[in-house]
Structure 1
Amino acid sequence: MKQLYLAKSATLTIALLGLWTGMAQAQNTKLKTKSGAGKVKTTVPMGSPSGAGISVANLDPSVKPCDDFYRYASGTWLKNNPIPDAESSWGAGSELARNNRAISLRILNQAAADRTAKPGSNAQKVGDFYASAMDSAAIERAGLKYLQPHLDKIEAVKDLAGVQRLLANPKSHVGNSFYGFRVIQDLKQNDVYMAFFSQGGLTLPDRDYYLKDDARSKTIRAAYQTYLVNTFKMLGDSPATAEKNAATVQRLETRLAQASRTRVAMRDIQAMYNKRTVAQLTQDYPNLNFPELLKLNGLGSVQDLVIAQPEFAKELNTMMSSEPLADQKTYMRWHLVTSATPALPKAYVDEAFNFNKVLSGAKQQLPRTRRALAATDGALGEAFGQLYVDEAFPPAAKARAKALVENLRAAYAERIQATEWMSASTKAAALKKLNAFVVKIGYPDKWKDYSTLNVSRESYLNNMFAAAEFAYQENLKKYGKPVDRTEWTMTPPTVNAYYNPVLNEIVFPAGILQPPFFDAKADDAVNYGGIGSVIGHEMTHGFDDQGRQFDAQGNLKDWWTKEDADKFMAKAAVVGQQFDAYSPLDSVHVNGKLTMGENLADLGGLTIAYAAFMKTPQAKAGQSIDSFTPQQRFFLAYGQIWRRNQRPESVRQQIQTDPHSPSQYRTIGPLQNMPEFHTAFDCKEGDKMVRPAATRAKIW
């Protein structure tokens, strides 16, 4: 599985600011802002069983906590838990996800075995989708039978107008071809939806994979060429034609990459909000045919769009008229096939995995059960999620998590009030935003309606395409309707959490509200250091360098004084410089600008969680468990949730593409700045876990 990131994905590159690269909507509790407000109540009793929530066996006592707390907290676990062959990394989140999968697979196998489910019911759809994904014999027999009609549509294109229609048609299933298009909340008027056009069209994880000339990038491009050639040959191309077509795809994608913004540039939210009228877009980019795109997607009434990267649209407009039609068709043929690969015969899946081995370092393909589970969760996540929460998430867990959230919110309010660098007016606006946080825990109040999605056991590929079309149409249908504030972006079994700035909400799926993050049998120190730091992380995203640009209502609107904003950015720059210096591999450094938001969220989240924990009876009593003080247990819990072994290939890819820092730096980075940690473990000036006072980061 992917590392637990507190995710960052979806609507825009900034849309969800979360924990990893893994449910009723609660009423907001109004915070008092006068002296004495924010009293925190304990959520689990003191005197929990010795060792609950923290594994003493994971510690490496040969490492001094003030030298390398990451190794101290989890060193023995790191030594004893090699990465499974099918994984690119393995950590605490992986173990929790494995436990969740055991429950999920039991549910899915039961659903697939039940042939009595009412036609059209969620149980029928979940069971049939999973069964079709597991039926490898049927997939082999089908070959390209169900893909061929889509290949034929590409082959039938005769001119630029045909390309435009194919790209605009939601039934064409040409994958990630050329650009992205969807409906999202208007960032500056978030009670309405807007149409959004963005850069896209790449197969490799990032633009830089096409453009860098280092040895690693060249190796990946060579492996990609092999992947392309072999796939085209399986589609029936001669070896010479396959080589030519592979070079065509790489050439077109490289041209798109050159026009694409970097991931750091994509973090500039204001620069992405470029609203243009359809008339202006038609004049500026005639070859993209926006009227046709909108018409075929049922959005003929749309008057304007946001173009996230105008320079990309300009280059794509030129490409559509200058690139040979045959080359464009070859490119779309490739993207159709790659979007369909999971449902194609084994030879196609194996070829894709051979390339992934080079990219991620994984040595063995995930078992079909894992792949089928992930696909079912992606296609029918809330239908399947209802079955999951019935078994894995009792109502009491939801209530305990809600209490923790409110305790963190109260502690955050006090920290904002006590902040010495922020003016009174900005503090008031910050408290207003904090007060307005919507909290979603476990699962949605209103489950998604899948009644228009047809699923059968005939064809996994047809089911995949039907689910993709359903999701796309569900997105488009939002336009012109009131914003749905009950919607979730993650499914209930997901081991992750997120903050959504345009809804000003923090969301914690049921999947993450389990050990080691949340343990009903553990003492408060463990839960505040674990899920408490996760909660604080998501809250802090509302005040990081991106989230702070959205107001209490979720609109992209500046509510800071210039002086306060300048002070904040200066403090954030200290964190950026700190992480720039970290190097997990030779010549590979963390990108402090790319990871800025997540690093700020880790530091702020841990700071707030500790402040909330110190109000609990356990912290005040100071009673040790397993020879560790409550404060030490808090930090040990935090350190142990980030334990993770990772392949070098995966580390390189994360550094290049992911807004989250590698796990060891997510552990030591915040702690090096925290005097509370230094006191808890008696660290002194000069110790590796103590940053010099002049370079120590402090924001909240």
Structure 2
Amino acid sequence: MRLLLVSALLAGTALAGCAPTATSEAPAVAPVTAKPELGSFGFDAAGMDRSVAPGNDFYEYANGTWAKNTPIPADKSNYGMFTALADLSNERVRGILDEVKDDPASMVGRAYTSYLDTATVEARGLAPIQPWLGKIKALDDKADYGALVVEGAKMGVPGPFGGYVGQDDKHPDRYIFTLYQGGTGLPDRDMYLVDNPKMAAIRTAYVDYLAKMLTLAGEADAEARAKAVMALETQIAKVQWTREESSDATKTYNKYTLAQTAQFSSPTLNMPATLAALSPKITEVLISQPSAVKGIAQALDAAPLAVLKDQMLLRSLGALSNYLPDAISDTNFAFYGTTLQGTPEREERWKRAVAFTEGALGEAVGKEYAARYFPAEYKAEMNKLVANVLDAMGRRIDALEWMQPQTKARAKAKLANFTVKVGYPDRWRDYTGLEVRADDLFGNAVRSNRFDYQYMLDKLGEPVRRWEWGMLPQTVNAYANFGMMEVVFPAAILQPPFFDPKADPAVNYGGIGAVIGHEISHHFDDQGAKYNEKGELSDWWTPEDVKAFEAASKQLVAQYDAYEPLPGEHVKGEFTLGENIGDLAGLTIAYDAYKHSLGGKEAPVIDGFTGDQRFYLGWAQVWRRNYREANLRQRLLTDPHSPSVQRAWVVRNLDPWYGAFDAKPGEKLYLDPAKRVRIW
């Protein structure tokens, strides 16, 4: 699944099978009927820096004054249009929850109240987690380690491996359990292995954090034990696959029967028995990184039992810290929030309470959110935009010079099979059976985690739930799901600056139109293109198609590799390729859809801006974002999306942008026509 943002449920009608239309009649342009929320035509022109030539830095030209005048709030690692809308969404959800927090009959009210009840949380101290910690400390035989890993996974405690139930990539009509590498507490293997001062400082801080958590849990000899856990995780990091390797849909498709997983067993962890303990429905499994799983098993064997227990104890405290006293949760935030992300302060308690309630009962909250904040006219206008962009993608496929006719036919068939979901889904999730108490935050969290894990496991052997969403309607994001053959746009992203029915169409096409194109094109990016018109992982392109696509992709990789957002820190062109293709193709397709919507007429000039200029300004506006250095540094390691500045710069590959802003040779973003990357 590809996301628009960073680097994962909800009444209404999902628009299925929204294929390109056969008619050649130009779709009507939605008229501007009232003043838009931003500026005079949907763009905040006051945020521009017109002293910067667009051809030198289009991001600064469109957003420079906003960037200079917009501080990052103390409780955030970055701030921009996505976070501003997330804040709005949180405020709206808070209003919904405040109405029911004192109603004992309301499940969401009880969940929200339990998080706000700091007095009870502090008074109980570590008592709620002690029975689980006691189980870990009582472990006296490595052969019993796997049983605790299973129990921990269901509670929400990360173990040496992760796992989930999803579609079988080669048989998307059925579910399968996927196992993937885990076992480390730092966000990326490079943080253990790269030898430079920044990474060394992170490693030192991590050991200090582990030692402090052990001390807070009442454990002795904390420093030495923390170093031993760090040594174990370093060994695990050495065998883990890189993010580039782990993003390859072909390399990560490795299917085994339950019996065949014995080759990944060790005296410490019997893989078939562990998987069977997770669910008796697991009869076969996909293992994403087989060599890493074997290497991790060997690292577990080499480690003393005491170190395995300490690591599990620490991962438990960290994963469940938000439901424990502030001494624990503040320590966890000090490392993961401040040290790694640069965020000075934790969010206010109510914001964390909203996040918890959404995590536990998100669809119950989302149903009310959608009813209050997603008008029917928004859905209707959005459906028109989606249809227009899909139509433009179909024309793009027809016009491709590098794609063979037989591949074009299948690509058009794939496009015709898309399901488009807008705002919220048809069906809401049923939370019957989940126990929620107003005075038991920790219990609520663990019961919710177990409830969700079982909900996921129950999919095995069932028909694929094509009605299900992977995001909440109040989530500011969008995604493409290859196996489901769908593109999904939650309600919360369908508002300014991305989408405003009262704005100039050019801005909407440059904003949400490009987002639509981005998600559609994910189905044809470096990984999405591996899935055929049925959503099956297969080789369906001709060798000539693959060769042409890879040549253009390599150009894009090189272009992004050259970007240096921080001194000595470059964008990883290979790792971010899928998202960069999404931006390039999405903006290209949205531009075609916009021009087609004009019906052959020229767009009017508004406030001195042509239609083309407003289109590209709409694109740049959605990427307004300021980062803390630590957050940006971590994103360059872990986020498959390029930083916002570089996402805005994708315009340098598009010929119409040059005409719109008179970008000239010698300017920093200028590319000779032969060097502009053209894929779709």
1:520 corresponding residue in structure 2: 501
1:534 corresponding residue in structure 2: 515
Which of 255, 270, 273 is the matching residue for 2:253? Answer: 273
Query: CA offset at residue 364 of structure 1?
Result: 1.4
Q: Gapped runs of 5+ residues in structure 2?
A: none
Residues 153, 159 of structure 2: 8 Å contact kept: no
Q: Residue type matched to 1:89 in 2?
A: N
Farther off after superposition, 563-572 or 44-53: 44-53
Residues 420, 486 of structure 2: 8 Å contact kept: yes
**Would you say 1:40 and 2:59 are equivalent positions?**
no
Q: Gapped runs of 5+ residues in structure 1?
A: 1-14, 118-123
1:682 corresponding residue in structure 2: 662
Q: Deviations over 1:658-681 (max 9, x none)?
A: 10001000001x211111011111
Q: Residue type matched to 2:16 in 1?
A: Q
For 2:408 and 2:599, the matched residues in 1 are separated by 30
Q: Residue type matched to 1:320 in 2?
A: L
Query: CA offset at residue 72 of structure 1?
Result: 0.8
Which of 552, 556, 566 is the matching residue for 2:547? Answer: 566
Residues 2, 522 of structure 2: 8 Å contact kept: no
**Would you say 1:353 and 2:328 are equivalent positions?**
no
Query: CA offset at residue 394 of structure 1?
Result: 1.4
- Structure 2 vs 1, CA of residues 551 and 109 (structure 1 numbering), >3 Å: closer, same or farther? same
Which of 299, 312, 318 is the matching residue for 1:338? Answer: 318
Query: CA offset at residue 607 of structure 1?
Result: 0.3
For 1:150 and 1:16, the matched residues in 2 are separated by 36
For residue 620 of structure 1, give the secondary structure of its aligned residue in structure 2: coil
For 1:328 and 1:607, the matched residues in 2 are separated by 51
**Would you say 1:250 and 2:230 are equivalent positions?**
yes
**Would you say 1:114 and 2:103 are equivalent positions?**
yes
1:306 corresponding residue in structure 2: 286
Query: CA offset at residue 38 of structure 1?
Result: 6.8
Query: CA offset at residue 296 of structure 1?
Result: 2.2
Which of 591, 597, 600 is the matching residue for 1:610? Answer: 591
For 1:172 and 1:674, the matched residues in 2 are separated by 48
For residue 408 of structure 1, give the secondary structure of its aligned residue in structure 2: helix
Farther off after superposition, 609-618 or 395-404: 609-618
Alignment of 1:685-696 (within 5 A): 685-696=665-676
For 1:395 and 1:248, the matched residues in 2 are separated by 57
- Structure 2 vs 1, CA of residues 456 and 562 (structure 1 numbering), >3 Å: closer, same or farther? same
Alignment of 1:645-664 (within 5 A): 645-664=626-645
- Structure 2 vs 1, CA of residues 174 and 516 (structure 1 numbering), >3 Å: closer, same or farther? closer
Residues 72, 627 of structure 2: 8 Å contact kept: yes
- Structure 2 vs 1, CA of residues 172 and 488 (structure 1 numbering), >3 Å: closer, same or farther? closer
Query: CA offset at residue 450 of structure 1?
Result: 0.7
Residues 421, 567 of structure 1: 8 Å contact kept: yes
Which of 570, 573, 585 is the matching residue for 1:589? Answer: 570
**Would you say 1:168 and 2:150 are equivalent positions?**
yes
1:553 corresponding residue in structure 2: 534
1:94 corresponding residue in structure 2: 83
1:72 corresponding residue in structure 2: 61
Q: Residue type matched to 1:16 in 2?
A: R
Query: CA offset at residue 572 of structure 1?
Result: 0.9
Query: CA offset at residue 523 of structure 1?
Result: 1.3
Residues 111, 357 of structure 2: 8 Å contact kept: yes
For 1:560 and 1:633, the matched residues in 2 are separated by 37
Farther off after superposition, 495-504 or 150-159: 150-159
Which of 186, 192, 200 is the matching residue for 2:174? Answer: 192
Q: Residue type matched to 2:171 in 1?
A: Q
For 2:75 and 2:152, the matched residues in 1 are separated by 34
Q: Deviations over 1:516-555 (max 9, x none)?
A: 1001211111110110010000001010001000111111
2:209 corresponding residue in structure 1: 227
- Structure 2 vs 1, CA of residues 447 and 334 (structure 1 numbering), >3 Å: closer, same or farther? same
Q: Residue type matched to 2:374 in 1?
A: F
For 2:634 and 2:427, the matched residues in 1 are separated by 37
Residues 38, 407 of structure 1: 8 Å contact kept: no
For 2:59 and 2:600, the matched residues in 1 are separated by 23
Residues 474, 492 of structure 2: 8 Å contact kept: yes
Q: Deviations over 1:425-475 (max 9, x none)?
A: 111111111111110111111111111211111211111111111111111
Residues 277, 305 of structure 1: 8 Å contact kept: yes
- Structure 2 vs 1, CA of residues 167 and 38 (structure 1 numbering), >3 Å: closer, same or farther? farther
For 1:172 and 1:75, the matched residues in 2 are separated by 47
Query: CA offset at residue 401 of structure 1?
Result: 0.7
**Would you say 1:29 and 2:22 are equivalent positions?**
no
For residue 499 of structure 1, give the secondary structure of its aligned residue in structure 2: strand
For 1:20 and 1:610, the matched residues in 2 are separated by 24
Percent same amino acid at aligned positions?
A: 42
For 1:445 and 1:639, the matched residues in 2 are separated by 33
Q: Residue type matched to 1:402 in 2?
A: N
Residues 19, 537 of structure 1: 8 Å contact kept: no
For 2:93 and 2:3, the matched residues in 1 are separated by 26
For 2:41 and 2:523, the matched residues in 1 are separated by 32
- Structure 2 vs 1, CA of residues 158 and 19 (structure 1 numbering), >3 Å: closer, same or farther? same
Residues 20, 387 of structure 2: 8 Å contact kept: no
For 1:460 and 1:212, the matched residues in 2 are separated by 39
For 2:602 and 2:253, the matched residues in 1 are separated by 52
1:325 corresponding residue in structure 2: 305
Q: Deviations over 1:401-426 (max 9, x none)?
A: 11110000001100110111111111
Query: CA offset at residue 319 of structure 1?
Result: 3.0
For residue 422 of structure 2, give the secondary structure of its aligned residue in structure 1: strand
Q: Residue type matched to 1:226 in 2?
A: D
1:12 corresponding residue in structure 2: none
- Structure 2 vs 1, CA of residues 71 and 101 (structure 1 numbering), >3 Å: closer, same or farther? same
Q: Residue type matched to 2:639 in 1?
A: D
- Structure 2 vs 1, CA of residues 213 and 619 (structure 1 numbering), >3 Å: closer, same or farther? farther
Residues 497, 509 of structure 1: 8 Å contact kept: yes
Q: TM-score, with normalisation over the residues of structure 1?
A: 0.93
For residue 688 of structure 1, give the secondary structure of its aligned residue in structure 2: coil
Residues 39, 410 of structure 1: 8 Å contact kept: no
For residue 146 of structure 1, give the secondary structure of its aligned residue in structure 2: helix
For 2:200 and 2:312, the matched residues in 1 are separated by 24
For 2:588 and 2:5, the matched residues in 1 are separated by 16
Q: Residue type matched to 1:573 in 2?
A: K
Q: TM-score, with normalisation over the residues of structure 2?
A: 0.96
1:454 corresponding residue in structure 2: 435
Query: CA offset at residue 500 of structure 1?
Result: 0.7
Farther off after superposition, 592-601 or 153-162: 153-162
Residues 499, 542 of structure 1: 8 Å contact kept: yes
Q: Deviations over 1:228-251 (max 9, x none)?
A: 11111111123xx11122112211
Which of 410, 417, 436 is the matching residue for 2:417? Answer: 436
For 1:556 and 1:296, the matched residues in 2 are separated by 29
For 2:326 and 2:259, the matched residues in 1 are separated by 47
Residues 46, 523 of structure 1: 8 Å contact kept: no
For 1:347 and 1:81, the matched residues in 2 are separated by 32
Farther off after superposition, 229-238 or 312-321: 312-321
Q: Deviations over 1:8-44 (max 9, x none)?
A: xxxxxxx3343443953212134356xx647333234
Query: CA offset at residue 619 of structure 1?
Result: 7.7
**Would you say 1:16 and 2:5 are equivalent positions?**
no
- Structure 2 vs 1, CA of residues 306 and 209 (structure 1 numbering), >3 Å: closer, same or farther? same
Residues 174, 332 of structure 1: 8 Å contact kept: no
Residues 620, 648 of structure 2: 8 Å contact kept: yes
Residues 487, 519 of structure 2: 8 Å contact kept: yes
Residues 18, 498 of structure 1: 8 Å contact kept: yes
Residues 19, 534 of structure 1: 8 Å contact kept: no
When the two chains are superposed, the root-mean-square deviation of aligned CA atoms in Å is 1.7
Q: Deviations over 1:305-341 (max 9, x none)?
A: 1111111221222233332111111111111111110
Farther off after superposition, 171-180 or 248-257: 171-180
